[in-house]
Structure formats: C-alpha cells, structure tokens
C-alpha cells in the first residue's frame, strides 16, 4: 500500500492509502491480437468473456474452447471452436480505462417488454447494497462498481477502473455461473453513457440505475428500448429520465386524506 501525504488543517501527515490498480490487458483470439485496453486486474476471465459476448465475438460459453489468463503479464488467450471474424471498425468510447467497442448502434436490439416495476423507496436500499459490497470503492473512491440485482438483493458485483469493464465482468460472471440477466436490475457508480445503455440492453435489464448522470444518447436509446434510466441516486432522492411508468408510486395515507378533503371542499 503506497504512502501519501495528506494536507489537513494546515498540516501535512504521512499515511498509507489504498490506490486502485490499473494495467493494460491484451486479448488474443485464435492467435490474433483482438484488443488491448486498461482495466483493474481482477476477474479477468469474466471481463474477457463479457467483452467478447457484448461485441458479438461469441454468443455464449459454448463458443469458447479454451481460455488462458496470464494476470502477471496482462494477457488473455482465447481459443474459439470456430474461426474468428475480425471486426471491421473500432470505436473508442467515452468510458474511463480507455473504453473500446466494435459497434455503437442499438437499432438491432428490440424494445424490452418487461413488467418489472419498483416502488421509489426500493431504489435506495439497492444502491446501499452496491456500496456496501464494493470494498475497493469504499477504500479508495478511485474505482467503479456495478451490480446485478433481482430487486431485493445483489446477485453479482464487480469493480474496475472502467465502468464499462465492470459491466463486462458482470455479464461474464453471469454466463459462467448460469445466472440469467434478463428482467434484472443493473446498478452502477458511473455515468450512463450510450455504451453503458447498450450493454444493459444486451443483458435485457429494464432498469439501469446510477449515482450519477446519463448522457443524451443514452436517454434517446433508452426511450426506444424501453429501459428505465434512473440517475443521481442520493439518500432520499433520484432523477427518472425515461419510462417512469415502471416506478409504482403509492401516496401516503395523509396525502390521500388531504387530497380528498381538498376535493370535497371541507
């Protein structure tokens, strides 16, 4: 753990402070270098599986014949059961950790037809569970966390210097453990960019909830895809940007009584 010099109240003091690990990761598929990006070297197998699935290189675990992780050298070698179809275009996303994708479109995703709903007050404990389980985030604040929830509890949680990498890890672990993502809730500490929205649509999650904001492109896509985007979740407030009809709002008894009195004119 590195030493830092902290300045507070006019005094410098030396102390130990956790710092987020960051390193390049090179993915090789069938002997061909596919991509190199920056990440936090944890759950690298899940990260690569999720990334390959998001990018359409694989459709599931059955497409992978072998996967070898060399964490010390930041390399993962993947052998597929079929020939690799090289992507024709690379797009560097707005994500931290040098985000990389081979497609930015969402037109091929159908609208999510889900009857999943939440009461507004159910949003806050879900975010608290995310923060409670994100050990590195609490220690350093220099990392992103993401989680998959069934609406009551956290099913999977991942942390990475890149918010998009954290979602890759979530999908990779879900595929590995056989946990369905459709009809679930995605939680993140990071900005909801169009790339993050696309990953949520890929996983079939009708809710994408963050402690910070979405972008204009993500809002436009969420409207079409039927994704409820919630941002700026705080202790007792949040913003709903798309499809608010999924939030079941039950007014308090006192408010109902007051409205009834106002209508009656008493």
Catalytic annotation present for 96:
yes
Residue 101: strand pairing partners: 91
Q: Contact, 169 vs 47, CB < 8 A?
A: yes
Distance CA 252, CA 119 (A): 13
Beta strand 64-70 with 32-39 is unpaired
Distance CA 197, CA 56 (A): 16
Beta strand 154-160 with 185-188 is unpaired
Could you say which of 96, 166, 229, 230 is catalytic? Answer: 96
Q: Give the pair of three-digit tokens for residue 105.
A: 């479109």
Residue in this structure with the two tokens 């409670």, named with its chain if needed: 132
Name the residues annotated as catalytic.
96
């Amino acid at each position: 753990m590195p030493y830092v010099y902290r300045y507070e109240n006019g005094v410098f003091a030396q102390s130990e402070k956790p710092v987020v690990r960051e390193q390049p990761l090179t993915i090789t598929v069938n002997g061909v270098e596919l991509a190199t990006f920056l990440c936090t070297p944890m759950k690298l197998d899940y990260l690569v599986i999720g990334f390959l699935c998001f990018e359409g290189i694989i459709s599931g675990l059955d497409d992978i014949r072998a996967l070898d992780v060399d964490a010390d050298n930041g390399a993962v070698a993947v052998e597929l059961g079929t020939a690799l179809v090289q992507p024709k275009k690379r797009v560097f996303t707005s994500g931290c950790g040098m985000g990389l994708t081979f497609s930015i479109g969402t037109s091929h995703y159908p609208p999510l037809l889900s009857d999943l709903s939440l009461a507004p007050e159910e949003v806050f404990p879900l975010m608290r569970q995310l923060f409670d389980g994100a050990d590195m985030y609490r220690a350093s604040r220099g990392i992103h966390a993401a989680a998959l929830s069934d609406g009551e509890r956290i099913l999977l949680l991942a942390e990475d210097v890149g918010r998009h990498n954290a979602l890759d890890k979530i999908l990779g672990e879900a595929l590995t453990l056989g946990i369905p993502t459709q009809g679930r809730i995605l939680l993140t500490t990071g900005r909801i960019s169009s790339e993050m929205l696309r990953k949520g649509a890929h996983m079939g999650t009708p809710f994408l909830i963050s402690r910070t904001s979405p972008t204009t492109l993500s809002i436009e896509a969420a409207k079409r895809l039927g994704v409820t985007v919630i941002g700026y979740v705080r202790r007792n407030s949040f913003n709903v940007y798309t499809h608010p009809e999924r939030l079941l709002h039950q007014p308090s008894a006192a408010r109902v009584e007051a409205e009834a009195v106002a209508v009656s004119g008493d």
